[in-house]
Amino acid sequence: MRARDAVWAAITLVILAAWVFLAARFSQTAWDFTMFYVAAHTPLHSLHDQAVFQSVARSALAGTGVKYASPYVRPAVFALALQWMRGLSYWTAFRIWAAFQFVFYCATLGLLARRFHAPVVGFYPWAVFFPAFFGIVTGQDAVGVTLVLCAALAFLCDGRQTIAGALFSLTLYKFNLFLLLPIYLAIQKQYRALAAYAACGAVFAAASALLEPPSKYLALLPNIQLYTIGFSPKTMLGLRGLSNTLGAGAAYPFAAVLLAAYMLIRSRRMELARGLGLIVIACLLCAYHGTWYDGAALALPFALALAKGAPGLKLAAACLMTLPLWNAIPALVSALLLGFAFYYAADSSWIASKSEA
């Protein structure tokens, strides 16, 4: 190992040790994990019934010292993947869950380095990327979705559209974030991928409806804020949070439509991978309910920017990656991310060829 690589490896290990130190002492470690743990213990036919969910939470979390259980807001079918937790204590299940999330993040970085030539080894910002690592500490799942996105894109760039579309359909797990993906597949004429996305999505919807009456889920969605702590329009990542912070919340829908349209138009002229990176940024900026930990998905566009973007874009990506406390300053992060999105969209070095290296 070269001396420089050894130095970067040492820096990375120190940073990872700091994350572990934080997790061992932080009062909100596993704060969000309750959503998944309680969902694993709740009958599937009542998963989104808050009276039942909170009753199960009081029983499942008894003796853990955890008093708060946020509602499970994913489609019912995805709760099947949580059933392994049923026989485990809360903290044992969380440690396994966090280990899985860390492995998913490492796999994501390996894929980004191998397939898209992103600088990972010897580039410490990946170890301080707040949405990814603090999301793991609090018990979130966004890095798993990021791995799915990156794997789907790799298959798409390799011409394996059906597998790519099936993987993209898994983002319906967080459908509130990635609704622009099928539109992007359509404008890029990736029709087999789009067909696979639609077919798998229909299966997920049907399975969810069989497991639980859709009316329960539809009744929960507009009332999520009533059952969560610390979330409001101002805390959202993206245009919704920024507009409400500026006292112009009514402008959000119009701004989101305009931004989405602009980004979709710009993405048509880009290479397939880089265009999708832009769409991921647009998804997070335009989402009605997007939070700081969802920013983990930005690992994909940041990696693409670091790999082949202009020097200024690389610097901007590195700065955003090392920005701390995304949860404390969502409006500032949103403003910076909006500027990055326009910079990314305007980088002329990315606009010409649609062939992938």
Residue at 317 is within a domain: yes
Residue at 355 is within a domain: no
Residue at 259 is within a domain: yes
Total number of domains in the chain: 1
Residue at 107 is within a domain: yes
| Sole residue written with tokens 């966004």 | 142
- Contact assessment for residue 136 and residue 143, using Cβ atoms and an 8 Å cutoff: yes
- Give the list of residues 6+ apart from residue 138 with CB closer than 8 angstroms, or none: 28, 29, 30, 31, 32, 33, 293
Residue at 357 is within a domain: no
Letter string b/e over residues 89-120, b meaning 16 or more CB atoms within 10 A of that residue's CB:
ebeebbeebbeebbebbebbbebbbebbebeb
**Alpha carbon distance 262, 267 (integer Å):** 9
Owning domain of residue 163 = 3-350
Q: Which of 172, 174, 145, 168 is nearest to 156 (CA)?
A: 168
State the pLDDT at residue 355: 43
Residue at 356 is within a domain: no
Residue at 220 is within a domain: yes
| Sole residue written with tokens 């018990």 | 139
State the pLDDT at residue 36: 96
**Alpha carbon distance 261, 256 (integer Å):** 8
Q: Which of 323, 300, 288, 324 is nearest to 145 (CA)?
A: 300
**Alpha carbon distance 298, 316 (integer Å):** 13
State the pLDDT at residue 353: 46
User: How far from 158 is each of 63, 108, 178, 269, 298, CA to CA, in Å?
Assistant: 50, 17, 22, 19, 22
pLDDT in tens, the chain (357 residues): 577 778 888 888 899 999 999 999 998 899 899 999 999 999 999 999 999 999 999 999 988 888 888 899 999 999 999 999 998 999 999 999 999 999 999 999 999 999 999 998 888 899 999 999 999 999 999 999 999 999 999 999 999 999 999 999 999 999 999 999 999 999 999 999 999 999 999 999 999 999 999 999 999 888 887 788 778 889 999 999 999 999 999 999 999 999 999 999 999 989 999 999 999 999 999 999 999 999 999 999 999 999 988 999 999 999 999 999 899 999 999 999 999 999 999 986 665 444 444
Handedness of CA 120, 263, 168, 50 (dihedral sign): positive
State the pLDDT at residue 348: 63
State the pLDDT at residue 225: 78
Residue at 218 is within a domain: yes
